[in-house]
Structure 1
Amino acid sequence: MTTDALYQELNYVNHSREKRLYYAHLLLANTNLIPKILDIMFMVDDKISPRAAWVLEFMCKENLEALIPYLDTFTENMGRVHLDSAERPVAKICEYIAIAYYVKTPSKLKEALLPKHREKIIEACFDWLITDAKVAAKAYSMNTLFLFGKDYDWVHPELITILQRDFASQSAAFKARAKQIFHKARK
């Protein structure tokens, strides 16, 4: 399938779990489509870009290791994503990566995720946290930053400072996640 054909297919993707899962399985069955979905996702001003992000998020939930060959592309470009409906799934993928990196069992992701990838993820997550991104992207970013803060001394203090500064002016969902982070940070 060409990039143009995949782009056309994404017109059929909606918020339903069924559609996103169908196309995620299509990617996993045809891994040559993964760089094409990334190309479409990084057409950051295009209305189809978020749909590509939704599908990629579901693919990563099913099999995060399928993203490993494309970590450079993903981490180099994810900070360019700016449409609200695309930021949330990209932030969720970052959270999947952080969780997978810190599980106790060995994994291919742990070997493949280089400091440059982690630093790009940290940078993007802080950007989502301090900008007017929607609360879901901020919540996923908080968790990702907390996890990566285990290896980067400066991340936890910066994260806590931002959460304390913004706490009073944010939504109930933001406050709930921030309280979880405060609780974890005290341990």
Structure 2
Amino acid sequence: MTTEQLYSELNHVNHSREKRLHYANLVLANPDLIPKLLDILFQVDDKISPRAGWVLEFMCSTNIATITPYLDVFTNHIHEVHLDSAVRPVAKICELIAKAYTCKTKNDLQHHLKNSHKERIIETCFDYMINDEKVAAKAYGMTTLFMLGKEFDWVYPELEGILITDFQNQSAAFKARARHILKKLKKLKS
């Protein structure tokens, strides 16, 4: 399947779990489609970009190892994604990467996630926190920052400061996640 054919297929993806899972399974069964899917995702001004993000998120939720060979491409371009409906799946993928990386069970991603990848993910997640993003991107971002922040001594103080400063002006969903993260940060200090 060419990039153009995949692009055309993504027109059939919608918000339904069934469609997203169908196309995620198609990509998982044909790993040569992953670079093409990433190409479409990073056409950041295109209305199909979010659909590529939805499929990539479902693919990573099913098998996070599939993104491992593409960590350079993914982390080099995530900061460019700006359409709200594309930012959310990218933020979720960052969280899935952080979860796999910090998992106690050994996995392939732990050996391939370099400091440069982590730094780009952290930078993008801080952008989610300080920019006018939807609450889902902020929630995924703060969780990612908490998980990856263990290795960077400057992340926790910055994260805590943002959470405390923004707490009163954010939604109930943001406050719930922020309380959870602040509680964990406080526990680490004691």
User: What's the TM-score bracket when you normalise by the shorter of the two chains?
Assistant: over 0.9
Q: For residues 127 and 186 of structure 2, what CA distance do their matches in structure 1 show?
A: 24
Q: 1:127 maps to what in 2?
A: 127
Q: CA deviation at 1:106?
A: 1.2
CA positional deviation for 1:126: 0.3
**AA aligned opposite 1:158:** E
Distance in 1 separating the partners of 2:99 and 2:66 = 16
Question: Are 1:57 and 2:57 matched, yes or no?
Answer: yes
**What does residue range 92-107 of structure 1 map to in structure 2 within 5 Å?**
92-107=92-107
2:152 is the counterpart of 1:163: no
**What do the CA deviations read for 1:96-118 (whole angstroms, capped 9, x no partner)?**
00011011121100000000000
Give the share of equivalent positions with the same residue, in percent.
65
Letter in 2 for 1:148: L
Instruction: Give ranges in structure 2 of 5+ residues lacking alignment.
Output: none
Equivalent residues in 2 for 1:1-187, closer than 5 Å: 1-187=1-187
SS of 1:46's partner is coil
Query: 4+ residue runs of structure 1 moved beyond 4 angstroms?
Result: none
**TM-score normalised to the size of structure 2?**
0.98
Secondary structure in structure 1 of the residue aligned to 2:58:
helix
The letter for the 1-side match of 2:7 is Y
Aligned equivalents of 2:22, 2:164: Cα separation in 1: 41
| Aligned-partner Cα distance in 2 for 1:105–1:83 | 34
Q: In the aligned structure 2, how far is the partner of 1:105 from the partner of 1:162?
A: 31
CA distance in 1 between counterparts of 2:81 and 2:23 reads: 21
Quote the Cα distance in structure 2 between the aligned partners of 1:105 and 1:134: 32
Q: What's the C-alpha RMSD, in Å, of the aligned pairs?
A: 0.5
TM-score (norm 1): 0.99
> Deviation per CA, 1:43-100, whole angstroms, max 9, x where unpaired?
0000000000000000000011011110000000011000000000000000000011
For structure 1, which runs of at least 5 residues remain unmatched after alignment? none
Question: Which amino acid counterpart does residue 14 of structure 1 have in structure 2?
Answer: N
How far apart, CA to CA, are the structure 2 residues paired with 1:13 and 1:44? 17
CA–CA distance in structure 2, aligned partners of residues 185 and 68 of structure 1: 29
Alpha-carbon distance between aligned partners in 2 of 1:121 and 1:3, rounded to the nearest angstrom: 26
1:77 is aligned with what amino acid?
A: H
Q: How many residues align?
A: 187
Aligned-partner Cα distance in 2 for 1:167–1:106: 35
